[in-house]
Chains A and B, each alone.
Chain A
Amino acid sequence: MTDIVERTERRLEARDVIYEVDAARLLDQVDFNADKGELVGLVGPNGAGKTTLLRTIGGLLKAREGAVLLDGDEVSRMDTSQRAKSIAQVAQLAPLAQGFTALEVVMMGRYPHMGRLQSERAVDRYAVRRALDTAGAGALADRTLETLSGGERQGVFVARALAQEPRLLLLDEPTSNLDINHQARFFQIIRGLVDDGMTAVAAIHDLSLAARFCDRLVLLNKGVVVAEGLPRDVLTPKNIGAAFGVRVIVSSDPASGVLGISVMEAGSVGNSAGAGTRVHVVCGGGTGARLMYRLCEAGFVVTAGPLANGDTDRSAAESLGVEFVPVQAFGDIDSVAHNKHLRLIRESEIAVLSDVAFGSGNVRSLEALVEASLIVLATMEPIAGRDFTDGDATTLFDQLSPVAAWSDLEALVTGLSGLAQNNKGTQEIANSSRENQQ
């Protein structure tokens, strides 16, 4: 390690931070940064290293390797008082030092600014009063901590942090004990501070909350940064699935654009009979949304055929993290899209055709389906009723040889699981007979 640290314009920069306890690597080459006026969220499963990273940034833990720089100065080399004037922290649980009034607690934040036997000066009282007001706790000044609600108490601790007059705020799951109203209010206050130039890094459990308030997110898993960027780029079903080991639906509220994350079934990955089997769904116009959801839930690896923008099936596929072939609304399936569709069909073990209607725009997806090895219909209705191509769709449909058809969704999922198992069995027999021949 050299002593020469490159100057940086960033407010906070963590470079290749490694932290270990008893040979267990809790942070592995974590590299991230935060600018002035930015709220960065740390997300990830329990034990991912969020708290460890915050403590390392705050100088409470010493990294084994790497450096944490605040405006270019290494945090581990600051003395305690200098550090306390630059970085303040708000923890998940308010400490139990009761009997103190809110004002006395906030005044404690002035510690690094005061001499040992110095009593509070006007400037300290002014800073405390301003911090209380900014944190929305102005009316609580003379109340003792134990008489405050959880939300009010966190407000007081934000005020205490502000009384330190820091450049960087570190928040360790500050709202995990608050109700949704106080969660939002808490982050609105932080958002206001950040918009005025404060830098904040927050470990946040609630992914939707993180997506709503943070400028950027850092997804940690097992001490490693696995994704970083805008909330909607980080919080994909794929990333979340990999980090948390759970299937989720990431939906974007059409009106507000707020991301919503809901879990399908805890620990579902790899549990059901169909787990891991690739199923390709040809759908559209809302005929496949529920189908894809149930298939994902059952553990299938789902892909989808051409879906036009604005189609509800397309939003569903995006929410579920289902790979699909994107096409323009009211346009034809061009050869690029067609080739991608062919590839997805060939890679899948089973193809499912929904109750989708066919017009000139999407008829080529039926053409691609001919390549499928195993076709299942998700409807009993005759094709004629949804053929708007003067018979082209019917002609193509007749070339298919579906092995089964279920109009009931649950029956379909069960049937597909059975087929998947059969398929695996057949392959195993084929493999072993091949080995015997050799």
Chain B
Amino acid sequence: MALGIVTRLRPPREAALGTRLIAGGGVLTTLLIAIILLSLSTGPLDIPVSHVVSIIVEPTGLHLADYNHTEEMVVERIRMPRIVVGALVGMALGVAGAAMQALFRNPLADPGTIGVASGGAAAAVIAIATGASSLFFLALPLFALGGAIGTAFLVYAIAIASGRFSVATLILAGVAVSAFMGALITLVIIAQPEQGTLRGILFWLAGGLDSRSWDHVWLSGPLILVGGGVIVAFARDLNLLMMGEDDARSMGVNVRVVRPMLLTAASLITGVAVAVSGMIAFVGLIVPHMLRLVFGPDNRVLIPLSALGGAVFVVLADEIARTVISPAELRVGIITSFIGAPFFLFLLLRHSRRVSSL
């Protein structure tokens, strides 16, 4: 009898939480796989999709089609790591963007809000200009990562030193530090006499996934998956934090522990993403917004879907960057903004009533 009442009372939208997750996840995963297969097969060397699939499933012992050694090398050594790095970076930026928007209760927040991205970029630019980036393999991403983490700590330290730690102080400190880092980058660019180095700097700043190897995957993958996993696990806390600090605390969220932890996780995965891909703009801002329009604001749905959506967006943008003026390449960061901005504005105008409530 009691069970009967409970079953009848099952609220429609709450039950739809799982449905939304499965539906959205299904569509985005399918899209991601399709785009990955497309990306693996296109490029200066055209490889049929059947060969691509065959190369991927070969290690399991299944032999689907004959392919030649060059194709295998291109897929496994060149295209696959690049796409995986792109997908990881997209995941990181999507998740970090959604998390920052919830943490700061501000739809304009993006992964770089507290200065991580610009700090990473400044370190990378200095490394390129001084030649430190070619000291050893992976020197550039490691410098960038160091710069990103260092900046995050600096911004935290400033916000704490101000006496009254608040989200507003953190954002303001982030904005100030970002502006400083931006000026530093400009200074390095202006002071750079050599054309080749200058071009390297600008290339890096526009964000790119060219010649990424499996080493980049191993460098970024574990950190992004762990950081992203923490954020997914605390998605409900993010929902409560969106209600404001007092409300979250009175409902039992340990704000003093959870908020710094989530800020650290989001900053870390952003820093890692910047380290392996440069500045890929706009992903963290628009991917969560687009998904919110369709799936609602619940972070338990939004955050996992933002991971998938970010991956789809970056891999797709990279595919376009690689092929549109082939054999030359555009920068992926340019494409994300070129596609992302108009598409976002289109959504904004169509759904302006709902966006105003974000």
Contact = CB atoms under 8 A, between A and B. Distances in A.
B252 A112 contact: yes
Interface string B228-242: 000001101001101
Nearest to B2: A126
Contacts of B5: 126
A391 interface: no
Interface stretch (B8-16, B116-124, B147-155): B8-16
B257 to A, nearest CB: 9
B252 A83 contact: yes
B247 A95 contact: yes
A81 B249 CA distance: 9
B357 A98 contact: yes
| Residue from B13, B253, B296 with most neighbouring chain A CB atoms (10 Å) | B13
A85 B251 CA distance: 8
Interface in B95-138: 105
Contacts of A107: 14
Contacts of A119: 17-18
Contact of B250 (A60, A97, A116, A123): A60
A126 B6 contact: yes
A334 interface: no
B6 A125 contact: yes
B72 interface: no
A125 B357 CA distance: 26
B246 interface: yes
Contacts of A120: 14
A49 interface: no
Interface in B291-324: 292, 296-298
- Count class of interface residues, chain B: 35 or more
Interface string A81-122: 101110111010001111111011101110110101101101
A146 interface: yes
A252 B81 CA distance: 81
Interface in B196-250: 233-234, 236, 239-240, 242-244, 246-247, 249-250
Contact of A128 (B11, B243, B250): B11
B239 A108 contact: yes
A108 B249 contact: no
A87 B354 CA distance: 34
A80 interface: yes
A88 B251 CA distance: 7
B251 A103 contact: no
A179 interface: no
Contacts of B354: 99
Interface string B1-37: 0010111011111100110000000000000000000
B64 interface: no
A80 B11 contact: no
B239 A99 contact: no
B358 interface: yes
A103 B13 contact: yes
Given A91-B246, A95-B243, A81 B11 contact: no
Contact of B251 (A96, A112, A125): A112
B240 A111 contact: yes
B358 A98 contact: yes
A344 B159 CA distance: 63
A125 B296 CA distance: 20
Nearest to A87: B250
Nearest to B258: A80
A164 interface: yes
A142 interface: yes
Interface in B29-87: none
A111 B236 contact: yes
Interface in A3-61: 55, 58, 60
Contact of A95 (B3, B233, B244, B254): B244
A129 interface: yes
Contact of A85 (B10, B243, B252): B252
A80 B249 contact: yes
A111 B297 contact: no
Given A89-B246, A97-B242, A116-B233, A108 B251 contact: yes
B297 A97 contact: yes
B250 A89 contact: yes
A413 to B, nearest CB: 50
A97 B254 contact: no
Interface string A62-84: 00000000000000000011011
Contacts of B3: 122
A141 interface: yes
B296 A99 contact: yes
Contacts of B6: 122-123, 125-126
A32 to B, nearest CB: 20
Given A100-B298, A107-B14, A141-B11, A164 B105 contact: no
A97 B358 CA distance: 8
B101 to A, nearest CB: 11
A141 B14 CA distance: 10
Contacts of A108: 236, 239-240, 243, 251
A83 B246 CA distance: 13
Nearest to B353: A146
Given A91-B246, A103-B14, A80 B252 contact: yes
B210 to A, nearest CB: 38
Contact of B292 (A99, A101, A160): A99
25 contacts: A58-B250, A60-B250, A80-B249, A80-B253, A83-B250, A87-B250, A91-B246, A97-B297, A98-B297, A98-B358, A99-B296, A100-B239, A100-B296, A103-B13, A104-B239, A107-B14, A109-B251, A111-B252, A119-B17, A119-B18, A122-B3, A122-B7, A146-B357, A164-B251, A164-B252
The 4 tightest CB contacts between A and B, nearest first, are A84-B252, A112-B252, A99-B297, A98-B357
Given A99-B292, A144-B357, 17 more contacts: A60-B246, A89-B250, A99-B357, A100-B239, A100-B296, A100-B297, A104-B239, A105-B243, A108-B239, A108-B240, A109-B251, A112-B251, A119-B17, A120-B14, A122-B6, A126-B6, A146-B357
